[in-house]
Amino acid sequence: MAIFVRMLPKKAARQAAMCLAAGMIIVSFMYIVGIRSGLFLYMEEKLGINTMGRMAMFANLEPYYDISITYMGKGTGFERFVDWASGVEYQVPLRTLMPIHNDFLRMYMNIGFAGYWIWIISFLMVRLHYWFRRAGKEAGCLFLGISIYCFVLYATDNTIYYPYTMIACAILPMSCCLDRLADAEMEEHRTRWEKD
């Protein structure tokens, strides 16, 4: 999709990327709603897909969150207080517990309905807009491709807190236009110095 968007003119590419990002945000929330509504049960029973224990884990998650505009969340890091394989809750956080293999659901459960929407919009839409505006179409399309990749990982793994993955995803768009941005910044400072 990012390659296709890159073939468009700059303005159309930015608009298409923003529309794709909005769609990704909606799909991420619908995925949370689907999990709560029995998506994985349907996948196991009707489609015969092995969910590798996720159905049982998501059943253990149900008492801790609601799909509601008034849901305020349990607090960042709450997932470390519960062994999601068994549903046993502990008084202290443990690192040896089975993690939630879904970053969207984890963020929703931790920061609540409003927090989730603020996080996902700032995480994707604001940064995508920044890369298109500040660094151009190439950086914006690269960030879109990285975001699509990350969103697939977020739906199935615990990637959002992996520092190496997130650092690489942040550095890649910076690197595609670093020289041009540095030259523009130097020219701006040179112009300011000449006026003084």
pLDDT tens, position by position, for the chain (196 residues)? 888 988 999 899 999 999 999 999 999 999 999 999 888 777 777 787 777 777 778 888 888 899 999 999 998 888 888 877 777 788 887 766 677 888 999 999 999 999 999 999 999 999 999 999 988 898 899 999 999 999 998 988 888 878 888 888 888 888 877 787 788 888 888 888 887 6
Residue 96, pLDDT score: 62
Of 113, 40, 106, 8, nearest to 71 by C-alpha is 113
Q: Is 77 helix (H, G, I), strand (E, B) or coil?
A: coil
Residue 50, pLDDT score: 76
**Residue 70: how many CB atoms within 10 A of its CB?**
8
Contact status, residue 103 vs residue 94, Cβ threshold 8 Å: no
In sequence order, the β-bridge partners of residue 83 are 88
Residue 108, pLDDT score: 95
Q: Dihedral sign for Cα 68, 73, 79, 81, please.
A: negative
**Residue 138: how many CB atoms within 10 A of its CB?**
17
Residue 81, pLDDT score: 84
Contact status, residue 129 vs residue 156, Cβ threshold 8 Å: no
- The Cα 105–Cα 154 span in angstroms is 9
Q: Quick one: tokens of 157?
A: 């793994």
